[in-house]
Amino acid sequence: MTPKQIKWLRLAGLLGFFLAAWAIGIKSGITDKLNKEDLRAMTEAAGNWGLLLFVALFSLGNVIFIPGLVFVTGAVLLYGYPLGTVVAFCSALVAISVNFTFARGIGGDPLARLKNKRAHRMIDKLKDRPIRTMAILRIFLQMSPALNVALALSGVRYRDYLAAALLSMWAPIIVMATAVQFFID
């Protein structure tokens, strides 16, 4: 196989993986169970394992494109405002890392080798200032699974990806958690 064929095969595999994960989530009913009430029931029933179950569900939810706000809300409702905010932030870091790892592992980094001049200029800007660029994107797109996949396919280093997330995700998560607390009080 030629490198070009391998690149397209990997991209097809990545698309197939996310479509299969999404379809399994829909068909199994797990997406219906990922709401505030069911998250609370599952984590409370898990006892001491509840926190790990929450992190695993957040990671699975991110892979099958469930918005992170569902889990931030769940964390605040489960653990209260201060601890729930910390749990949401740490769980979000794990979830976006899992999403990045799957996308990079299956799809590789084909966006880093694009021949299109315009696309190549955008990727070059990302590579010139990766942490700043990703931090700005993350402020507006928070835990977006699509952003995680795009950044994984762009060829950015994982350590830059994680550094940008550490710098920028805390503010949107605090805002979301504060809004949840405000509306439930």
Please count the other Cβ atoms lying within 10 Å of the Cβ belonging to residue 140: 10
Distance of CA 98 to the CA centre of its chain: 7
Distance, CA of 155 to CA of 127 (rounded, Å): 9
Residues 9-41 pLDDT 10s: 776 776 777 677 667 666 766 656 656 677 677
* pLDDT for residue 56: 92
Distance, CA of 178 to CA of 180 (rounded, Å): 5
* pLDDT for residue 160: 95
Q: Which helix (H) or strand (E) holds 6?
A: helix 3-28
Residues 164-175 pLDDT 10s: 999 999 999 999
Q: What is the DSSP string of 49-113?
A: GHHHHHHHHHHHHHHTT--HHHHHHHHHHHH-HHHHHHHHHHHHHHHHHHHHHHHHHHH--GGGG
Least Cα distance to 128 among 154, 105, 103 occurs for 154
- How does the average pLDDT of the chain come out, rounded? 83
For residues 143 and 91, the answer to whether their CB atoms sit within 8 Å is no
The segments of the chain whose pLDDT lies below 50 read: none
For residues 126 and 134, the answer to whether their CB atoms sit within 8 Å is yes
* pLDDT for residue 26: 65
For residues 108 and 88, the answer to whether their CB atoms sit within 8 Å is no
Residue with tokens 């504060």: 178
* pLDDT for residue 95: 96
Which pTM does this prediction carry? Answer: 0.78
Distance, CA of 127 to CA of 159 (rounded, Å): 13
Least Cα distance to 136 among 168, 92, 96, 93 occurs for 168
